[in-house]
Structure 1
């Protein structure tokens, strides 16, 4: 293995192997495709994301958003093309170093074991040596999820929204540079949807790269720097919210007519079904 936690790179046609940790962009997706049997879930997708960026992946059910996140995390391997994190494919990083570079919140978070909420959040520190800073980091993560009052609760007694906030707090405690969130707001009420994405915004302001799968287009427009809209496994468009969220495009992709109106305070697009 080479320095920096990268395994010796596997050579591929046209590839140069793993790059340095500081290489930009942090996330690079290159002509990526993913197939299961006869089903083409992603088809020749390319985009990049970097430090300080909050990127939303949106699109109808089955468009390929969660598959894309699983490929970025290293849980799946591309059928064609490649993904790199800091210049190396996820599978080329040592597991310990990968856990320090990227954290993942999946959309299915049922819990079968009776850990307390605080113990669950503390698991986010597992990739690191024990430190005097751990108590402070864990307290801050509990506050980020607004679950400090639940810290002693058995996680098997929590509601779906409380579990989601606990898992998000664990992701915060992991303190990774790249944060991958798969539908984190789905089980949350209005207040906690806003709180979670506001904290994601603060993470990017501190230099992280956050990629989040969302269904609420107005929520994505309100908080995110960029939106990538997927349709039947292909990247339909990517850019700032006001460029991507066009009524004609949304009608074509979702099969639903909408009106786009500016938010009365921020001017950001609001997507209103007709």
Structure 2
């Protein structure tokens, strides 16, 4: 399923990072909702209205602070009977309540209407994220690949089937989503094309005679692959065998007795 055609169902968990934020995507995905509730902290309402003014006209804001209980928040949201709910500032939820309490809270909400949660990578660790992931019906992870924003969408069906799609996407000022197929090779090709070519201008210029002499030079570590060649290599009459075997011939100077070697030193 293309990201632009995705209709939130159940619990949709968004995971972003510092290079690709998912807040605009959350509001873009809620575009088909006639009414929705946004749960956020004090002061964020004005910020969100300024960023997404037209989209926030039909929204109801519920304030999250350190004096509010989870039951009170749940009661307020359900009273509004929204067609969608956006949980903003999930890091504040995690700081105030345990992850298990939040997961149970979301499970109660998603049974009534779709829930979209923004889960920043910078403020919610992987263990907490995985606990929320366990109750999600769909998960979208965002990241920056080259000069494009990329989404990795995973949807879980009731029969246990998993649908996965990776796309490059963009969002315009009207919160319309545009997508295109993304292949990891696209980034590699782009990076390769941006890499400047390096000219090997330090290669010595050899004459024809020097080139011919170099081509006839057999180096022991590159050209000696036959026993007939290796037989020419001598070190105290020890032959080097093909395969790396070395036949050792003892020297008369070798100390092969069992005495203390220090006794042989001329001190």
TM-score range, shorter chain: 0.3 to 0.5
**What TM-score, normalized by structure 2, do the two folds share?**
0.35
Which one has more relative contact order, counting CA pairs under 8 Å at least 6 apart? 1
Q: In terms of Rg, which structure is larger?
A: 2
